[in-house]
Structure 1
Amino acid sequence: MLKYEWIYQSLLQQIQAGDLPAGAKLPSIRNLSQHYSCSISTILAALERLEDQHIVYAIPKSGYYVMDHQVFKAPSYTDSIDFATSSPTWHAFPYKDFQHCINKAIDTYQEDLFRYGTPKGLPSLIVEAKKHLEAYQIFTHSDQISITSGVQQALSLLSIMPFPNNRSTILVEQPSYHLYMDMLKTYRLPVVGIQRTARGIDLNRLEQIFREDNIKFFYTMPRFHNPLGTSNSKKEKEAILQLAHQYDVYIIEDDYLADFECNKKNDPLFADDVHELVIYLKSFSKIMFPGLRIGLAVLPNALINTFQRFKTTTDIDSSMISQAALELYLKSGMFAHYRMQVSDTYTARAKILQQSLQTHLSMYESSSEIVMHGHILLPKQANIKSLIHHLHEQRIYLDSVERNYLDDFYHERILKLNVSNVDEHRIDEGISKIANALNNPQYYFF
């Protein structure tokens, strides 16, 4: 071991042991040089390594101080198979690339960080976002794009603000995005549901609800539905747009997994909307990381001012550092490279998931999309809670579908499956064990 590495380890051990707590000043470089009987350059090399790991920081003409005692640890191996977690595989993200963008953003926007930002978002990010959205066939004007603190904020604002059609009831697919269902329940907003299955939605029922139920907007995920993993056909999307125009209903299109679309002909609803009734939402949580908290909302002209007024009263602006870093990540081409890499990884897992479902669970209705999450529909007699508990004891983790439904809507016996955090070689093993459990009569009501 080189001398500077030994000194680095020695100082790190002192910091992690609490002998040098956060905020403490390290001995001077000269004193460290004398203590370790080495040259000043050797001490500087050890301190530089600690600084690179953000363990210490330097103040000119003062010295080095402890920032934190923690260092990055590589993910440890686990023998569990996690079909419940839907967040991205965090350790696969090229965090050093994004760290460069954060550091550059701080250098570039030093003055802006000490001001309140612009309510609609960082103008330079909106320019990049406009270019970025064109890859999804979203062609719009910059003034229609609003940066939000994740899609969740956009959904919250749209749910409480008034709409030009002067209606109040929200229509949601059942099941649907669990956090939005939580929000609707928490605020006790007027809401009705429409069943969505692997076969889509009943368009006759949709028309009936549009006609009779005072619908303000219809919240839908045409592409890679959460939690079902299914997508609407072109014919279904055309019908939804036609009905929305006929009954003056707005549509919120949550396109959170647009980055994983392999079929370039599968356009979003927004691309065919000629009546400005579609509100398009795009998240970066699944392609990058949820902690970024940056979302994009593309608004019809009639909603821009009201949306902005409501947003300003709840949040002056989304994180400027996150916005600036994302702008540089998009502009530099890093995002495009990473998207291709992670899309290939997830597509490989998605294909294994589909093959495993066909091999072990072909007797159940399921999704057939090549995407990293899907579902199987179990018979009404299935005891889902007992099944999930039994599999948990075998270290196979599944999430209940309860939160994906409104309380008063019939809950199908759906088993959600997500392979975002499952190694490729363990997907088939996990599905096989689920199939074995489903063959056990004790997990059914008779």
Structure 2
Amino acid sequence: MDDFIFLLTEKEAKYKQVYQQMKILITQGTLQTNDSLPSIRKLAETLQVSRNTTLTAYEQLVAEGYIRGEGRKGYFVNALEPVFLQEQEQEQEQEQEQPVLSQPTSNTTSLLVDFRAGAVDQTYFPMKTWRQLANQVLQEPSCYQYGELFGDPLLKEQLVPYLLQARGVSTTSENIMIGSSTQQMLLYVGFLLKDHFPSVLLEDPGYNGAREAFQLHRFVIETLPVMETGAQLDILKHCQSRLLYVTPSHHFPYGVSMTIQQRQTLIQWAQQVNGYILEDDYDGEFRYTQQPFPALASIDPSKVIYLGTFSKSFLPGVRLSYMVLPNTLVQPFKERFAHFEQNASSLHQRTMAQFMAQGEWTRHIKRMRLTYKQKMQHLVQELQRQFGPQIAVLGEQSGLYIVVKVKSPLSEQQLIQRAETYGVKVYPTSPFFINQTSEDPLLQLGFSKLTMEEIKLGVERLKEAWQP
């Protein structure tokens, strides 16, 4: 199709109207797989808009996977899964049937926007490619067995160059252990180290899932205070622990990143006390203002136990995480768990190995980094527009969520309850604190699975809910 006539109004940005109407043509099947689209210049002339308008619309469609650009050939429609198309049609029907909502009159308002952190935008999951690779793996006899105890060799071989290129971590496949989740890896490490390291330092605030794992092993818990500006490393010299669990590239939940000077301080501390640092790099791929920071393990792999996961960057349902052990812990780990079966799916491990080998993983990360960056910027802009100085946004440089500090006489729980009354789900940060407290309420807002429209609606609803 070369000619498009769209009715554009002045009520909404024109690039957004072009994007939305093109998207409808694709999802309804009017535009089919591999159909060519008019050039940016030709579409702009037809619609009598600027080239920037049509360029921005095309860029959004490319970022979301609806179309692709092929150099000088132009733009073409991508294939969409039939299931995805059905979901789109159902969503459009629901949108047409749903009345315009006014201010809620009761506490039974249905949930409209869920700012849940840890969710993934399933719209851009490369289902077709993943399914094709999984089908190929199903032809291999090895996927019908229990699998290697410490991880599929092919996946570990793919992780070696990836970790060096993306995170600066130099390692070998022998040092890499595959598991189903970061918490499971922490439980294993706890079994390995608790006889020699009775206590552990945890960030405060910090990831409560890690705290639960260490408490299960009855570690004595010491805390490393973390402020909005970073960790208070001076306290290290007063601590008894020789184990430290940290999230240096993207602190959970504040979102601050450690400087190279702070990272060197941690390494020097571990060397001085002859201890280990457990580095949780849970979403290190998603940094939006600069290139992702090199991992702490890139400075001294002999003192860092590096933890990574595919859950945040790919799909939580694909239960795959990995751990890079220092040389001194590889053999003790293998001896300790020699009689425990691998609990990560052999099928998922082998499929991920093929996914990485074909370059699909790198393409996926690049695509999602752009998508999430746009969502992050949109969320921050909407919050600033609606609330102004009433809130402060923390952690907008990276990750899949932000933390907002709300200047309000209401408590954290009251703000959450009011938001839910208006159909919006936001989340507390109080479970992440051990000893410290925050003067103003802090709330966590995830954005990864939300559309731009849902983000805008959610913030507008929060403004109504939290107004004096």
For structure 2, the 5+ residue unaligned runs are: 1-80, 96-110
In the alignment, does 2:221 pair up with 1:191?
yes
Q: How many residues get paired?
A: 363
Paired residue secondary structure (1:374) = strand
2:192 to 146, 161, 166: 161
1:104: which partner in 2? Answer: 136
Secondary structure of the corresponding residue to residue 342 of structure 2:
coil
1:128 Cα deviation after fit? 0.8
What corresponds to 1:346 in structure 2?
Answer: 372
TM-score (norm 2): 0.71
1:156-186: CA deviation from partner (whole Å, max 9, x where unpaired): 111232269x221111112222322333444
- Normalised by the size of structure 1, how large is the TM-score? 0.74
Alignment of 1:94 with 2:126, yes or no, is yes
The correspondence for 1:273, drawn from 293, 300, 314, is 300
* SS of the residue 1:113 aligns to: helix
Structure 1 stretches of 5 or more lacking a match?
1-51, 55-70, 441-446
Could you say which residue in structure 2 is the equivalent of 1:328?
A: 354
The separation in 2 between residues aligned to 1:124 and 1:72, in whole angstroms, is 36
**CA positional deviation for 1:313:** 4.3
Q: Name the counterpart of 1:384.
A: 412
Q: How does 1:23-422 map to 2 (within 5 A)?
A: 73-74=87-88, 76=91, 80-107=112-139, 109-110=140-141, 112-134=142-164, 135-162=166-193, 166-209=196-239, 213=240, 215-262=241-288, 263-264=290-291, 266-273=293-300, 276-316=302-342, 318-359=344-385, 360-371=387-398, 372-378=400-406, 382-406=410-434, 409-412=435-438, 413-422=441-450
**Aligned equivalents of 1:240 and 1:365: distance in 2?**
29
1:141–1:425 distance in 2 versus 1, CA, 3 Å: same
Distance 1:353 1:414 in 2: 16
Q: AA paired with 1:100?
A: Q
Looking at structure 1, the residues matched to 119 and 394 of structure 2 have their Cα atoms a distance apart, in angstroms, of 20
- C-alpha distance in structure 1 between counterparts of 2:260 and 2:216, whole Å: 34
The match for 2:453 is 425
Task: Give the CA deviation at 1:257.
Answer: 1.0
Whole-angstrom CA distance in 2 between matches of 1:98 and 1:85 = 24
The share of aligned pairs that are identical, in percent, is 22
Residue 355 of structure 2 aligns to which amino acid in structure 1?
Y
Aligned residues of 1:354 and 1:370 also touching (Cα < 8 A): no
Does the CA contact (< 8 Å) of 1:198 and 1:366 recur in 2?
Answer: no
1:258-291 CA-to-partner distances (Å, cap 9, x unmatched) read 22134237211111116x1111111000111111
Change (3 A) 1:240 1:353: farther
| Structure 1 pair 368–282 and aligned structure 2 pair: CA distance change class (3 A) | closer
> Structure 1 residues 73, 435: closer, same or farther in 2, change over 3 A?
closer
- Structure 1's 343 and 98: CA in aligned 2 closer, same or farther, altered over 3 A? same
CA contact (8 A) 2:117 2:448 kept: yes
Which secondary structure does the structure 2 equivalent of 1:126 belong to?
A: helix
Q: Deviations over 1:398-420 (max 9, x none)?
A: 112233234xx234332111111
Indicate if the aligned counterparts of 1:225 and 1:231 stay in contact, CA closer than 8 A: yes
CA contact 1:121–1:317 (8 Å) conserved in 2: no
Which of 1 and 2 has greater Rg?
A: 1
Provide the C-alpha distance between the structure 2 equivalents of 1:88 and 1:253, rounded to a whole number of angstroms. Answer: 22
Rounded Cα–Cα distance in structure 2 between residues aligned with 1:127 and 1:437 = 51
The residue matched to 2:404 in structure 1 has which SS?
strand
Q: Distance in 1 between matches of 2:342 and 2:116?
A: 35
Name the CA shift for 1:302/1:370 in 2 (closer, same or farther; >3 Å): same
Secondary structure of residue in 2 paired with 1:120: coil
Cα displacement (A) at 1:196: 1.5
Shift of residue 381, structure 1, vs aligned partner: 5.7
SS of 1:161's partner is helix
